[in-house]
Structure 1
Amino acid sequence: MERLRSHREFVAVLKCRRRVSDSDIVAHYRVRDDVSDNATATGSRRLGLAVSKAVGNAVVRNTVKRRFRVLAERYQDTLPTSCDVVLRAKPSAAHASFASLDEQTRKLFHAVARKAGRP
């Protein structure tokens, strides 16, 4: 799964105002129209992570980000092909178990696929 890198890409996803959430994670998503979005003509799924200082210190935030990357990689095939997802951690994500985050990510990615009308 590729990564969202620029501020412009993050803002494009967040401006769509499409999101699904659970107790520890909020997933903002956007299905790109690759014809008009010339920045990414590959049609691949992209992931962005937003973990604020409210979650914890740098060690805790990096742990949460590593967990999110592993889980997103695990469930990426659930998403539509040209989908951008920003996973935003709630402060409670710092204390959540990996199994809990795994279940939440699975549910959120299935909800995104259902709402986005996966082809």
Structure 2
Amino acid sequence: MKKEYRIKKNEDFQKILRNGQSFANRQLVIYYYEKNDQNHFRVGLSVGKKIGNAVKRNEIKRYLRHAFIELEDSIKPNYDLVIIARKPTSQMSFHEVKKSLTHVLKRSNMFRQ
């Protein structure tokens, strides 16, 4: 994923979590906040320490980044997203993570028509 597509600053995370809307399924929580002054979406990933060791957490983040690369053309451009992984993601393969992400994005109406 390109660097300009990532959210890194804590203040950006906090703004989205405070002001944004959220949807969740058993594996992932998505917070989204509309920003009309940008022409592509940005994503912040959060995988807590309760999920596993560093290797497992990094693997989950890689899976999520790769899923966003594959879904990039179908996601609405003017949003900031924060994805929080829950414990069941530690047992999932890439395809299961992508399916779960697609499900939560559809529920939050983030796909283009």
TM-score range for the pair, normalised by the shorter chain length:
0.7 to 0.9
Q: Quote the offset at 1:66 in angstroms.
A: 0.4
Structure 1 unaligned segments of length 5 or more: list them: 35-41
Mapped contact 1:75–1:109 kept (Cα < 8 A): no
Does structure 1 residue 27 correspond to structure 2 residue 23?
no
Structure 2 length-normalised TM:
0.86
**Pairing 1:65–2:61 present:** yes
d(CA) in 2 for partners of 1:77, 1:30: 19
**Equivalent position to 1:18, from 13, 21, 28:** 21
* % identical aligned pairs: 25
Q: What code does the residue aligned with 1:62 have?
A: N
Aligned partner letter, 1:65:
K
Deviation at 1:111, TM superposition (A): 2.4
* Long gaps (5+) in structure 2: none
Partner of 2:41: 45
Superimposed CA distance per residue, residues 15-74 of structure 1 (whole angstroms, 9 cap, x where no aligned partner): 12411111211111111132xxxxxxx422101000010111101100001001001111
- Counterparts of 2:75 and 2:107 in 1: how far apart (Å)? 9
Aligned-partner Cα distance in 1 for 2:8–2:81: 12
User: What's 1:4 paired with?
Assistant: 7
Comparing 75-84 with 86-95, greater Cα deviation is found at: 75-84
Q: Give the RMSD, CA atoms, in angstroms.
A: 1.9
Letter in 2 for 1:44: H
